[in-house]
Amino acid sequence: MNKIIPILPCPSMKDQVSFYEKLGFTLSYFSHRPYSYAVLQLDSLELHFYSSKKMVPGENPLMCYVRVDQVDRVYEQFTNALKQSLGKVPRTGIPRISKLKHLKEDRRFILTDMGGNTLFIGTPNEELPETSAFLRSLASEEHSDSFGILYDLLYSKEDVSSAAAMLNKFFPADLTSMEVEELDLAKLLLVAMDIQLHQHQAADSRLGEKLEELIAAHGTASEDWSRISRQRQSILAEE
């Protein structure tokens, strides 16, 4: 089978190998000369690294996309491993891992390793058992386009400031009073809460109370409201 394998730098091969081994990778090749070089594998995934003492992790622009069959399983494995080794799931600094994101093209998360390399790890939507475009779309024709852009700014571009500005520009200050379908309102409340938590480490209590009210009214028997409830738990999770 034809495939492309990334070869990425790291300033400390020891730290890099240790990091990936904690995630569940195995070291399948290592060489010290003429420079340190390592190959790490996890199932069918294969990553190659070389040592470069000139590389500054915080300034490393290198990235690659890693396509996996079950992104949720990989994410759970990685976050559990990080919790065990670091005592928490690191969202900032190096290393770090993002939350799972439901995007237009796929469901993914972002991993930044000890060398500052950025790995976008995801599964295309068409390969998922359920469409991950659900949380990104609104039934409202008036607001659907703006919401899609808002969602991508926050979760794909990771541009919280622009997402907040767009939320303020295209949506009312009091989201709880919007006259839209309740499922649409729940999706808006989720995004607004996530923006506020990113900016202020706290969300307007009115948003949370309204969302709780909607979930309680509809229950979680339906798959749609179950997804809303799970996303709320993910956003509010203290890790």
The C-alpha atoms of residue 94 and residue 134 are separated, in whole angstroms, by 31
Residues 72 and 138 placed together within one structural domain of the fold: no
The C-alpha atoms of residue 153 and residue 170 are separated, in whole angstroms, by 14
Question: What pLDDT does 136 receive?
Answer: 85
User: 179: which residues sit within 8 A by CB, 6+ positions away?
Assistant: none
Stretch 200-223: mean pLDDT: 92
Question: What pLDDT does 187 receive?
Answer: 96
Residue 68 clears pLDDT 80, i.e. is over it: yes
Residues 59 and 117 placed together within one structural domain of the fold: yes
Read off the pTM.
0.69
Local confidence band at 36 (pLDDT 50, 70, 90 cut-offs): very high
Residues 147 and 51 placed together within one structural domain of the fold: no
The C-alpha atoms of residue 238 and residue 81 are separated, in whole angstroms, by 16
Domain with 71 in it: 7-127
Average pLDDT, the chain: 91
Q: Two tokens at 198?
A: 């990113």
Residues 106 and 196 placed together within one structural domain of the fold: no
Whose structure tokens read 């190959």? 39
Residues 177 and 120 placed together within one structural domain of the fold: no
Local confidence band at 46 (pLDDT 50, 70, 90 cut-offs): very high
- Provide the number of structural domains found in the chain: 2
E strands present in 32-90: 37-42, 45-51, 63-67
Residues 79 and 144 placed together within one structural domain of the fold: no
Question: Do 83 and 90 touch, CB atoms closer than 8 A?
Answer: no
Local confidence band at 100 (pLDDT 50, 70, 90 cut-offs): confident
Render pLDDT for 106-128 as a digit per residue (tens, 0 to 9): 889 999 999 999 999 999 988 77
